[in-house]
Chains A and B, each alone.
Chain A
Amino acid sequence: MTFSDAISQMFDSESQKLQNLIDTANSKTDINIHEIVETYYQVMNVSSMATMLKQQPDSEPNSLLPKIKETEKMISEKFDSIIHPKILAKISASIQEMTKNLQSGNSGEKPKEQIESNAKLFEELRQTMSTKEFVEQYEKGISHDQ
Chain B
Amino acid sequence: MISDIAKNLVELKKEFVKIYAGQSQIQEFIPKSTSQLFPIEQSHLDLLHEFATKNPIYYNSFEKKLGSVDCIVYEGDINKYWLNSIQHGSSKAPFSPTWMMSGYVGVLFAKQLGYSEVIDIGSGDGRIAYCAKILDLESYGIEIDDMLVDLQNLLTSTLNFHPYCADAIAFDYSSLNLLRPIFFIGGLAQMGGIFLATGVLDKINSISNLKQNSGWVFAGTLSQKYAQDPKNAAGWGTLIEKNNLKSIQNVSLPAAWTFHEPDDVQYIFAESIQ
Most B CB within 10 A of own CB, among A99, A103, A115, A125: A115
Most B CB within 10 A of own CB, among A103, A118, A122, A125: A122
Q: CA A129 – CA B80 in complex, angstroms?
A: 16
Q: Min CB distance, A131 to chain B, in Å? A: 15
Residue A37 CB within 8 A of the other chain: no
Q: CA A125 – CA B59 in complex, angstroms?
A: 22
Q: CA A19 – CA B172 in complex, angstroms?
A: 59
Q: CA A27 – CA B87 in complex, angstroms?
A: 32
Residues of chain B in range 2-49 having any CB-CB distance to chain A below 8 Å: 23-25
Residues of chain A in range 98-128 having any CB-CB distance to chain B below 8 Å: 99, 102-103, 106, 109-110, 112, 115-116, 118-119, 122, 125
* Of the residues B24, B25, B77, B83, contact of A99 by C-beta under 8 Å: B83
- A103 closest partner in B (C-beta): B83
Collect the chain A residues with CB atoms within 8 Å of residue B77's CB.
115-116, 118-119
* Of the residues B25, B60, B75, B83, contact of A102 by C-beta under 8 Å: B83
User: A119 near B83 (CB under 8 angstroms)?
Assistant: no
Residue B209 CB within 8 A of the other chain: no
Q: CA A79 – CA B87 in complex, angstroms?
A: 31
Collect the chain B residues with CB atoms within 8 Å of residue A125's CB.
83
User: A106 near B80 (CB under 8 angstroms)?
Assistant: yes
* Of the residues A109, A115, A116, A122, contact of B82 by C-beta under 8 Å: A122
Question: Number of B residues contacting the other chain (C-beta, 8 Å)?
Answer: 13
Residue B238 CB within 8 A of the other chain: no
Question: Number of A residues contacting the other chain (C-beta, 8 Å)?
Answer: 14
- Take A115-B77, A116-B23, A116-B24 as given contacts and tell me if A122 and B83 are in contact as well, using a CB distance cutoff of 8 Å: yes
- Take A99-B87, A106-B83 as given contacts and tell me if A119 and B59 are in contact as well, using a CB distance cutoff of 8 Å: no
Q: CA A99 – CA B23 in complex, angstroms?
A: 22
Q: Min CB distance, A92 to chain B, in Å? A: 14
Residue B79 CB within 8 A of the other chain: yes
Collect the chain A residues with CB atoms within 8 Å of residue B59's CB.
109-110, 112, 115
Q: CA A109 – CA B60 in complex, angstroms?
A: 12
Q: Min CB distance, A91 to chain B, in Å? A: 15
User: B87 near A119 (CB under 8 angstroms)?
Assistant: no
Q: Min CB distance, A55 to chain B, in Å? A: 30
- Take A99-B87, A119-B25 as given contacts and tell me if A112 and B60 are in contact as well, using a CB distance cutoff of 8 Å: yes
Residues of chain B in range 50-78 having any CB-CB distance to chain A below 8 Å: 59-60, 75, 77
Collect the chain B residues with CB atoms within 8 Å of residue A112's CB.
59-60, 75
- A116 closest partner in B (C-beta): B23
Q: CA A99 – CA B80 in complex, angstroms?
A: 10
Beyond A115-B77, A119-B24, 15 additional contacts (C-beta under 8 Å) are A99-B83, A99-B87, A102-B83, A103-B83, A106-B80, A106-B83, A112-B75, A115-B59, A116-B23, A116-B24, A116-B77, A118-B79, A119-B25, A119-B77, A129-B86
A-side interface residues toward B, CB under 8 Å? Answer: 99, 102-103, 106, 109-110, 112, 115-116, 118-119, 122, 125, 129
8 A-B pairs within 8 Å (CB atoms) are namely: A102-B79, A115-B59, A116-B24, A116-B25, A119-B24, A119-B77, A125-B83, A129-B86
Nearest 3 CB-CB pairs, A to B?
A122-B79, A116-B23, A106-B80
